[in-house]
A and B are shown apart, each in its own frame.
Chain A
């Protein structure tokens, strides 16, 4: 079992009010699985991604990643896990505005201590994969929304992570480019990478072997992609 969440709660305190983003999520994901997470806006999808990605610590509940209790790891070991094991595609890209596409893609490799020459080559390769070979030296503000999203994907891929966490990775892409990205994910899945993908498109969720539906901070459905996606249409 790669990911094992039990009774995960995440409560934000805003002033005197408490916002319950997650209210007791139980979820297990095996190595090599491809899981879609769907749910309405505000249902807690991004919050769950942050917990899975060791970026956020749950208010209550336990999280075992690769058999290790994440709650017991210190900040630096968590940073190392994020750096080596996890590739993030954030919902709003999170690119460094002053750096080129290439430098952005290299960033995880920089913190992994990869030599500059190797770094450049791998980042270049990842950018080619997402179809941005001709935008390598552009800064984010010189790129379109879809291109920025692809840079973010390239950054997640460059480190060849065992776990890929993607929050709406095709949200800003036209259907053709979106399809390219999904093909890439399919390839990665076939190579044995674990993928967790947040999406609001039932069509995309239906193509995933497994889908999890969140509603108001709780898992309300978990099963083959087709079925869970269909429920959403029914609901």
Chain B
């Protein structure tokens, strides 16, 4: 049994060696199928791992209340016409939450203005800086930390003081040589004094830069950029256990204040680190399924290639089969010989595809600075699938070989 297996493996590899180029070309379908799966899964898995980390932008036990659905929460089909008519979230809403929700420990508000220029007396940045107005509690609820200096205090906010906290990229750009603390920056021509610098956080998905930001106290910001802006409210519950309760309380308070009728959906959005990650994972599942669809198609093409090359092999080697049968090979042995050959070939295609997929994933990481990680299950699955294809499409030619009549087969040339 084992001897027969070893013998079959040796024969299968022998054929591959005899005609590597033709074999490889026939196996292209399988190679491409497996390479596609591996590359896509590597990208998705890398994205998922990175995103789950990146998206932890909220502090522990924090959820975020917003007027708009945030980028990742686009599950379903939002009715933009209605959403655009939603009333703004205000600082008064925040105050109400703080006062009326017993499960809430602390709240903060923030609001942002993208695409701004930062200037000093000597230099000026590109118009790509994100200006955020935030209340002092923001530092506790947004998962950010101070590297140097300090964040705002209540006095900064209530008095609308012209102070700013900078992201590290802004510091690198504006103050490459000197400490930024105590220096002056200008936004839309108005001067602000730098009182703090944030810890570096990196980019979300390698795209959205969390470090290219300037924070202003909320009142200062509203004064400069317009009072009627909607704000986002970060809410921190007392602990993990009270997260759900806190969300219920906030929902109830806000529905009341915004006069949402009982039967209607809330006209604001609540997201947590988990809910964002969940939406993203669901999205990645859809992409995974689609990838497997494509992959199955190319495996089918690959399988037909196997069928073809094995039928040719059986015809070309009719004489060999006749000799083997004449000398005592049983039907099953011949069947196994050709079936294992098909499996080995197709598995070889799978392994080449695997290598190619790894290569592409690596290239993606290196050239596009995109996170990639090949998941083990995808490797296992593609190997199983490629050998499965070999078996399914190799069995018919193998059965034909096994059925040959030895005398007739030996007469063929």
A residues contacting B by CB (< 8 A) are 50, 53, 55-56, 75-76, 79-80, 82-84, 88, 90, 94-98, 107-108, 110-113, 115-116, 155
Number of A-B contacts (CB under 8 A): 61
- Known contacts A96-B320, A111-B333; decide if A82 and B410 are in contact (CB<8 Å): no
A interface SS class: helix
- Which of A53, A55, A98, A108 is close to B14, meaning CB atoms less than 8 Å apart? A98
CB of B325 closer than 8 Å to a CB of A: yes
CB of B260 closer than 8 Å to a CB of A: no
Q: Which residues of A lie under 8 Å from residue B406 when comparing CB positions?
A: 55
- Known contacts A96-B323, A98-B14, A111-B333; decide if A50 and B328 are in contact (CB<8 Å): no
Are A88 and B407 neighbours in the complex by a CB distance under 8 Å?
A: no
Q: Which residues of A lie under 8 Å from residue B3 when comparing CB positions?
A: 110, 113, 115-116
**A76 vs B323: C-alpha distance in the bound complex, in angstroms?**
15
B interface SS class: helix
Q: Which residues of B lie under 8 Å from residue A112 when comparing CB positions?
A: 328
**A107 vs B319: C-alpha distance in the bound complex, in angstroms?**
15
B residues contacting A by CB (< 8 A) are 3-4, 7, 14, 18, 319-320, 322-333, 406-407, 410
Are A94 and B331 neighbours in the complex by a CB distance under 8 Å?
A: no
- Known contacts A79-B329, A79-B330, A108-B328; decide if A56 and B410 are in contact (CB<8 Å): no
Are B18 and A82 neighbours in the complex by a CB distance under 8 Å?
A: no
**A113 vs B328: C-alpha distance in the bound complex, in angstroms?**
11
Q: Which residues of A lie under 8 Å from residue B407 when comparing CB positions?
A: 50, 55-56
Q: Which residues of B lie under 8 Å from residue A111 when comparing CB positions?
A: 324, 327-330, 333
- Which of A83, A94, A115 is close to B328, meaning CB atoms less than 8 Å apart? A83
- Which of B4, B18, B322, B331 is close to A76, meaning CB atoms less than 8 Å apart? B331
**A84 vs B329: C-alpha distance in the bound complex, in angstroms?**
11
Q: Which residues of A lie under 8 Å from residue B324 when comparing CB positions?
A: 96, 107, 111
Are B326 and A75 neighbours in the complex by a CB distance under 8 Å?
A: no
**A80 vs B330: C-alpha distance in the bound complex, in angstroms?**
8
Output the least CB separation between B5 and chain A (Å): 12
Are B14 and A94 neighbours in the complex by a CB distance under 8 Å?
A: no
Output the least CB separation between A120 and chain B (Å): 13
Q: Which residues of A lie under 8 Å from residue B18 when comparing CB positions?
A: 98
Which residue of chain A is the closest to B406 with respect to CB atoms? Answer: A55
Which residue of chain A is the closest to B15 with respect to CB atoms? Answer: A98
The 3 closest A-B pairs by CB, nearest first: A83-B328, A111-B328, A108-B327
Q: Can you list 8 pairs linking A and B with CB atoms under 8 Å apart?
A: A53-B326, A55-B406, A56-B407, A76-B331, A79-B328, A82-B328, A110-B3, A112-B328
